[in-house]
Amino acid sequence: MTAIRSLMQGRPATLLGTAPDITEEAEAYVAAGGYGTGSGPEQLLENIAAAGLRGRGGAGFPAAVKLAAVRDGAGTPVVVANGAEGEPGSVKDRWLLRARPHLVLDGLARAAAITGAARGYVYLSDPVAGARIRRAITERVPSLLVEVVETEHAYVAGEETAAVRRINGGPALPTAKPPRPFQHGVGDQPTLVSNVETLARIALIAARPDLRRQIAESTLVTLSGTRGNPLLAEVPYSTTLRALAAAQGTPDATGALMGGLFGGLIGHGSLDIPLDPGALADAGTALGCGALRFLAPGECPVALAADAVGHLAAESARQCGVCVAGTASVRDALHGLTAGRADPDAVTKLLRWSTGLPGRGACGLLDAAAGTAGSLLRAFPNTAQAHVDSPCGACSAAPPDGGRRLAVAVPEAGSSLATPAPAMKGTP
């Protein structure tokens, strides 16, 4: 069972609210300051820029820059709340849609006001979340026309061009870029595709511009490992990875798989890095979707890398030949290492693929597979070669499973006619 906890270090929690296990109703959300008038669209955009809010979907792109690009595009803008969440170790987006649907819809309406959009979509892959969003729309009709679009749960379905393609009536598969959605998206119009947590934080900044920096510099993370229970936590960027490991139940972690399947593996020496995106980038890793999977002592990083790449290979859209062949090659090499039947040149091949494959697919899936292999060789430089020389007992005890060990259950969020107002007055 996935627990929910604030790790805001004495600062008021914002996104979790006070009843994270209950779906917030419209009446409670409005009573707590939600859907308020607040500042106008231009002032809100300035506040978002001043706060330095980054997108929470994976790439961490500056939210204000993306909003302005859509606003200034040629055509009638469209806004999309992206809650597809294809990463196996992430649950934050589905929890937000289930537990705080009005916060997401409020943020979507604010984004529409900034960009000039009159039409919006909530794009998701979780039927429970879809039902909660539809109910929220009936509780309080949004200021713009909002349609819920569901898709199959898949890793590539959350990529922004895949979201646009699905909303346009096609399959949820990525397309070649350019153009990008901010140029030509839904209905060929300039389209903002924004992660639901990003939109939720925009709504919070609209309600409490005085706390804009705190709101922008905290984030939701999904923490997991073989020890303890998975944990959905709200944390400030200043929190170290080691502190997160301890909160999850792995205080003696030897490393981690970062950013879902986007940030690669890090070793024990990197655990004192703060969660700040800049600090992570300097260390050669990334926050990504905020999913962190910790390695316990005795657990093999090669097996974890094999799980990650096995999942990616299974989730390939199979549109790009280089992706199909490349992810399969990296998968097979890692599986060979874990099974004690590695090619003598396996490490050399993994190194070559880690530098030669990124950037050659239509989406980031191939990059993630190659990046995982490269990060394994950097963070644990002697471990892969040791697997070539002799079988690994830890790997044989836990054979690769294509990612099932990486999966995390979404926390429960029951229903209530009224939820308690948050302790921080004025923050929905």
Cβ partners under 8 Å of residue 352, min gap 6: none
Q: What is the pLDDT of residue 417?
A: 44
CA proximity to 201, closest of 327, 383, 62: 62
Residue 415, amino acid? S
Fold of 3-215: Rossmann fold (3.40.50)
Place of tokens 């050659």: 360
In a structure prediction context, what are the per-residue pLDDT tens digits for the chain, which is 428 residues long?
A: 899 999 998 777 689 987 898 999 999 999 999 999 878 999 999 999 999 999 999 888 999 999 999 999 999 999 999 999 999 999 999 999 999 999 999 999 999 999 999 999 999 999 999 999 999 999 999 999 999 999 999 999 999 999 999 999 999 999 988 899 999 999 999 999 999 999 999 999 999 999 999 999 999 999 999 999 999 999 999 999 999 999 999 999 999 999 988 899 999 999 999 999 999 999 999 999 999 999 999 999 999 999 999 999 999 888 889 999 999 999 999 999 999 888 899 999 999 999 999 888 878 899 999 999 999 999 998 999 999 988 898 887 777 776 678 999 999 887 654 433 343 445 67
Residue 123, amino acid? Y
From the number of C-beta atoms within 10 Å of its C-beta (0-12, 13-18, 19+), residue 397 rates as exposed
For residues 121 and 108, give the distance between their C-alpha atoms in angstroms, rounded to a whole number: 9
For residues 285 and 295, give the distance between their C-alpha atoms in angstroms, rounded to a whole number: 16
For residues 203 and 396, give the distance between their C-alpha atoms in angstroms, rounded to a whole number: 48
Measure the CA angle with vertex 15, ends 13 and 21; round to 5°. Answer: 95
Contact at 8 Å (CB) between 419 and 28?
Answer: yes
- Residue 411 has, within 13 A of its CA and on its CB side, a CA count of 28
Contact at 8 Å (CB) between 179 and 82?
Answer: no
For residues 272 and 280, give the distance between their C-alpha atoms in angstroms, rounded to a whole number: 11
For residues 112 and 81, give the distance between their C-alpha atoms in angstroms, rounded to a whole number: 11
Ranges in the chain annotated CATH 3.10.20.600: 221-406
For residues 122 and 101, give the distance between their C-alpha atoms in angstroms, rounded to a whole number: 10
Ranges in the chain annotated CATH 3.40.50.11540: 3-215
Q: Does domain 221-406 have CATH number 3.10.20.600?
A: yes
Place of tokens 């830890």: 394
| pTM, two decimal places | 0.94
Taking the CA atoms of 261, 263, 264 and 268 in sequence, report the sign of the dihedral they define.
negative
Q: Are strands 145-150 and 191-195 parallel, antiparallel or unpaired?
A: unpaired
